[in-house]
């Protein structure tokens, strides 16, 4: 059974459209990308499509190295006509992720990367939480009441797994969270015991039907390009057994909607300050 993520995205877009009516400038998002992989290119295309459909100005700049990226980040932070800055991940291994994140103006950090915004997340403020994590949590809370439920989060990255775990622990959600990673032992037993599984590993077909119980809810965050086709981290046979998000058309569409919503809110805040 597929979870309908498009209707969740539509309701976020609905709020974005009404906010757009309140802002006098055209909100603008700048995406910066250093040597993107296939999955990232596909995500950037969907960002552009969503921005165009909502009437948000959108530009992607492709860069070659850390020096170019840093230069653009400083420029974009100072440019008053840019309301949101997005840096695509993964970054090439030679680039220091923390140094780059710290250069994103926290007020334009629509993807929630700056260490200041990460710190706010720990305090329960999610205005600038990592968008993909926010999307996974949004879908999960729209699908079930999480209080007291066991949730297994597979993956502990700063982009997805770690922030998802922090957000699920917030008192209004109060899930009981187990975070799994590549060194976790008996992972299948942990996922099988969970009421919900969020899988963000980056391996096609990773979560199999044998690893989940019958009434589990599965959020498939993965984006893998196999033979030119986008697939998630879930073995699609899971659809016959439990409720699961589709890929494509799942976490990705909600992520993009949240991102655009934040760009408009950032433009609105800029007008008020």
Ligand X SMILES: NC(=O)c1ccc[n+]([C@@H]2O[C@H](COP(=O)([O-])OP(=O)(O)OC[C@H]3O[C@@H](n4cnc5c(N)ncnc54)[C@H](OP(=O)(O)O)[C@@H]3O)[C@@H](O)[C@H]2O)c1
Beta partners for 63? 34
Exactly one of 139, 222, 234, 267 binds ligand X (CB under 6 A); that residue is 222
Question: Does the footprint of ligand X cover residue 165 (CB under 6 A)?
Answer: no
Beta partners for 32? 61, 87
234-253 positions binding ligand X, by CB under 6 A = 251-252
Distance separating alpha carbons of residues 41 and 168, to the nearest angstrom: 29
> Phi then psi for 231, rounded to 5 degrees?
-135, 160
Contact 39, 225 (CB under 8 A): yes
DSSP 192-233: HH-SEEEE----TT-B-GGGS-TT-EEEE---EEETTEEE-S
Exactly one of 44, 110, 154, 230 binds ligand X (CB under 6 A); that residue is 154
Question: Does the footprint of ligand X cover residue 46 (CB under 6 A)?
Answer: no
Q: Is the dihedral of CA 172, 184, 2, 158 positive or negative?
A: positive
Which C-beta is closer to ligand X: that of 4 or that of 23? 4
Exactly one of 66, 143, 184, 249 binds ligand X (CB under 6 A); that residue is 184
Minimum CB distance to ligand X, residue 112 (Å): 12
Instruction: Tell me the site size for ligand X, rule CB under 6 A.
Output: 26
Exactly one of 88, 157, 257, 266 binds ligand X (CB under 6 A); that residue is 157
Pairing of strands 176-180, 150-154: parallel
Exactly one of 88, 129, 132, 178 binds ligand X (CB under 6 A); that residue is 132
The residues near 105 (Cβ < 8 Å, ≥ 6 apart) are: 76, 77, 85, 114
Stretch that binds ligand X, among 16-24, 143-151, 218-226, 238-246 (CB under 6 A): 218-226
Exactly one of 194, 221, 230, 264 binds ligand X (CB under 6 A); that residue is 221
Give the rounded distance of the alpha carbon of 257 from its chain centre: 10
Contact 200, 161 (CB under 8 A): yes
Question: Does the footprint of ligand X cover residue 31 (CB under 6 A)?
Answer: no
Exactly one of 8, 197, 200, 258 binds ligand X (CB under 6 A); that residue is 200
Which C-beta is closer to ligand X: that of 259 or that of 268? 259
Site string for ligand X, 81-120 (x = CB under 6 A): --------x-------------------------------
Which C-beta is closer to ligand X: that of 72 or that of 156? 156
DSSP 12-57: HHHHHHHHHTT-SS--EEEEEEES--HHHHHHHHHHHHHHHHHT-E
Exactly one of 41, 60, 169, 202 binds ligand X (CB under 6 A); that residue is 202
Binding site for ligand X (CB under 6 A): 39, 89, 132, 154-157, 159-161, 180-184, 187, 200-202, 221-224, 251-252, 255
């Amino acid at each position: 059974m597929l979870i309908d993520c498009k209707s969740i995205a539509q309701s976020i877009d609905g709020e974005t459209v009404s906010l757009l009516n309140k802002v006098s400038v055209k909100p603008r998002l700048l995406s910066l990308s250093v040597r993107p992989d296939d999955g990232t290119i596909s995500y950037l295309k969907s960002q552009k499509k969503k921005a165009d459909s909502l009437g948000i100005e959108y530009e992607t700049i492709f860069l070659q190295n850390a020096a170019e990226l840093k230069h653009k980040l400083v420029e974009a932070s100072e440019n008053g006509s840019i309301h949101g800055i997005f840096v695509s991940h993964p970054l090439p291994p030679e680039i220091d992720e923390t140094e780059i994140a710290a250069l994103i103006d926290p007020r334009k950090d629509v993807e929630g990367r700056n260490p200041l915004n990460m710190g706010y997340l720990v305090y329960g403020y999610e205005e600038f939480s990592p968008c993909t994590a926010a999307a996974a949590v949004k879908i999960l809370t729209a699908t079930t009441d999480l209080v007291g439920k066991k949730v297994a989060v597979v993956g502990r990255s700063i982009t997805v797994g770690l922030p998802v775990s922090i957000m699920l622990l917030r008192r209004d959600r109060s899930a009981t969270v187990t975070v799994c990673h590549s060194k976790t032992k008996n992972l299948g037993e942990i996922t099988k015991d969970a009421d919900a599984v969020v899988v963000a590993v980056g391996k096609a077909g990773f979560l199999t039907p044998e690893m989940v119980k019958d009434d589990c809810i599965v959020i498939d965050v993965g984006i893998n390009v196999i033979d030119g086709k986008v697939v998630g981290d879930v073995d699609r046979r899971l659809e016959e057994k439990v409720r699961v998000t589709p890929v494509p058309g799942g976490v990705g569409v909600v992520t993009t909607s949240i991102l655009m919503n934040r760009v408009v809110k950032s433009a609105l805040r800029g007008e008020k300050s």
